[in-house]
Amino acid sequence: MVRKWIIGLSAFFLVIAGRAQEVDFSLHGGWYDHPVEVRLSSAGETIYYTLDGNPPRPGASTYRKPIQLDRTTIIRAIACRGRSCGPEQAQTFLINEPVSRFPTISVAVAPWTLFDPEHGIYREGWMSENHTWKKEGANFWSKKELPAHAEIYDAEGQQVFNANTGFRLFGGMSRLFKQKSFSLVAREKYGPKRIGYPIFGKKGLNKFKYLVLRNSGSDFGKTQFRDALMTTLIQDWDLEKQDYQPAHVYLNGTYWGLYNAREKINRFFLEGHTGTDRDSIDLLEHNAHAKVGSSAHYKRMLEYIRTHDLAVDSHFQVVQTMMETDNFLYYEIAQIFFDNQDAGGNIRFWRPRQPDGRWRWILYDTDWGFGLNDPLAYRNNSLAFHTEANGPSWPNPPWSTYLLRNLLRNPAFRDQFIKAFYDALNTDFHPKRVDHVIDQFADQYRPEIPRHFERWGLDMAKWEAQVAIMRDFARQRPGYMRQFLRHMFDLGEDTPLALGCTEGGTLTLNGRTTWEADTVSMVYGQGMTIDLRIQPRPGFRFVGWSDGIGKNQWSRQWTITPEQPVLTAIFEPYRYALADQVMINEIGAYNKRSGDWVEIYNHSKQPVDVTSWILADAKHEYRLPTSVIPAGGYLVFCQDERRFKNHFPGVPTAAGTFSFGLDKRSESVALYTEDGALVDQIHYDVIPMDTTFTLALLLPTLDNNLAKNWEIRPGQGTPGGGNPLYLDMQVKARQQYWLRLGLILGILSLVGGLVYWKHVHRPVVR
């Protein structure tokens, strides 16, 4: 046995001794303002290296002396011992290159695989049909993946990623441009399984399977940021969209221009942004073509719509169980406002592949918008375009407008669509706001653009002209859009109005736009009805509206008329005595068995009568029934009392039924007294989960307005009782109490015993 162990250990050391090691570089890659001398080393091994982007292998240049560099170069090197070679190492030395505020990405690919006249994927090749504008058969339409090496340097010049990856050309018609888009692919056969750097900042993902470097698509040679601008304008909307980061790129040591780093839309993208298992997704594009999973569910939905009139609410409600109509509504508003006339092209939508999974839409590749091909595009009636029943096969075939046309048959959806469009024109698409965002992009790109335009022989005057076209679009588009909306939906004339609130609360318009202590100018169609809702801040209560409506009208509908151009919500200081003691303690926001529920905890030493108090989310209110929360006790309010008590038969404190549900992703929940004093409020924003979970306050002594004091707990939760950490601490406190009590009793017993012993054994005095 010992002999076998010694032989095995010896063999192990022989393998280690024969294995090639990594190559050490005397200098790290990065920026140098002078020529450099680079030494390579790897103990007792032969080093092979290249300077032209080719992968190193035996037969390449053999390292014998320091390498002198006086221009930007990628050194790719490998150490070999006999037939065994170690992993490839590479460093990019950026010599006398401009320093940038953008990240820099250096990519090395065997040059012949890209530029060989016959076989290179960057070339047209001999099969290209040059008589067609698309050049069918050209090599650059290839989907081939090539081995490559990639390095990423952040804006401060620090190397943050260095590894072998895959390389693919990317995009559609933009492949016709001299500068072509491409993607980097992380695979185990090349190196790491992920590109492990948060290139899109703190709010983006930390790692990527794919990283797209995009030439700005149809916007190449124009602004270079059109698509990114439009994504930014709707960054707070409930739509899946790509993050972006401009970056300079070097290919085999040659400056290759400015690119927009973007995410690739696939199952990895959806898993990263939504938390849905990437192997349980249906992802479709264009006319229900399945990229991942199946199109069967979507086709069943289309068939249902074909055979059921969505003007009937019950039919519309069935469709709402199959697709997220709110998500689709805002997707269409964005495409219509942007005048993205590629409606029949870049369409992608997805659903979690589960019984209640609903379709959602992904906004991407909007380059055709904001006046790309027409400086007067702001006059285009995109509303009619996106609802055309008999459009051409491209750009707006009937199948691409089918959903919106049918959904607009439903009065409730139509009303929501109109309000949401006007809201967007008054806020996210307001000319001043859009002009400000354009300023931010232009200021960011202006110092970096000249180098890119010089590289590709482009005209800087064209860049400035295109930025001006986008500004003009931003200023002119809202007026034309209101005109199109009035015409299609027979609305009244545009009517200016001012909505505001005093200090002490917030005013929410149409369940979406919220502001406080300010007056905002709006424009709506005369005769339109808008939905208003107020919410006091802690320490204040609602007094009433400036038009004389009283404090009980927290929510109201207001019809737009020219005679009443100003409406203000008025608040005054007010504090509920036990505001810090009666609190929202646990929320069940996603329970298919019991329905949603909210647990209130009374941390005070006296019972609290909560009769006629108000429990509210962002859009709804519920008046609590006759109820009292005992001191140190709990009270649960549920969406469906029968289902709740069937599922939680041991919770005697459940009372009342609220008619609305709680959003499992993002929601505001508040508790008010009958006369309007805010008792407690929380807001949660969590990654969507497909399983039952609760939000639980860690301890009732903590501030429940801080996200760090809450935890997401899978399972059914503990309605009507203490949360797990609190119960655990109570148990430990009792254990410590009994331990201390036992110790005290033990000491008293010992003292008593000593006294008794001394009494019994004291000496007798004679």
**Which strands form 634-638's sheet, in the order they lie side by side?**
654-657, 634-638, 597-602, 582-590, 693-697, 710-714
User: Using alpha carbons only, what angle is made at residue 354 by residues 640 and 407, rounded to the nearest 5 degrees?
Assistant: 75
582-623 pLDDT, tens digit per residue, is 999 999 887 778 888 899 999 999 999 999 888 888 778 888
User: Residue 550 carries which DSSP code?
Assistant: B
Q: Which regions of the chain are under pLDDT 50?
A: 1-18, 730-733, 735, 737-739, 741-745, 748, 750-751, 754-757, 760-766
Alpha helices by DSSP H, 308-410: 313-320, 325-338, 382-385, 398-407
The pLDDT value recorded for residue 3 is: 42
Q: What is the pTM of this model?
A: 0.78
CA distances, 166 to each of 147, 163, 177 (Å): 5, 10, 22
ω into 395 cis (within 30 of 0)? yes
The pLDDT value recorded for residue 714 is: 85
The pLDDT value recorded for residue 343 is: 62
Candidates 536, 506, 240, 252; CA nearest to 361 is: 240
Distance (Å, whole) CA 585 – CA 636: 10
* Three-state secondary structure call for residue 464: helix
41-72 pLDDT, tens digit per residue, is 998 889 999 999 999 999 899 999 999 999 99
318: left (phi over 0), alpha (psi -120 to 50) or beta: alpha
* Three-state secondary structure call for residue 44: coil
CA distances, 551 to each of 288, 296, 612, 676, 734 (Å): 51, 52, 15, 8, 47
The pLDDT value recorded for residue 540 is: 85
CA–chain centroid gap for 309, Å, is: 35
Give the DSSP letter string of 403-422.
Answer: HHHHHTTSHHHHHHHHHHHH
The pLDDT value recorded for residue 133 is: 75
Residue 79 exposure: Cα atoms within 13 Å on the Cβ side: 16
Strand (E) or helix (H) holding 584: strand 582-590
Q: Buried b / exposed e across 513-543, counting CB within 10 Å, b at 16+?
A: beebeeebebbbbeebebebbbbbebebbbb
The pLDDT value recorded for residue 654 is: 61
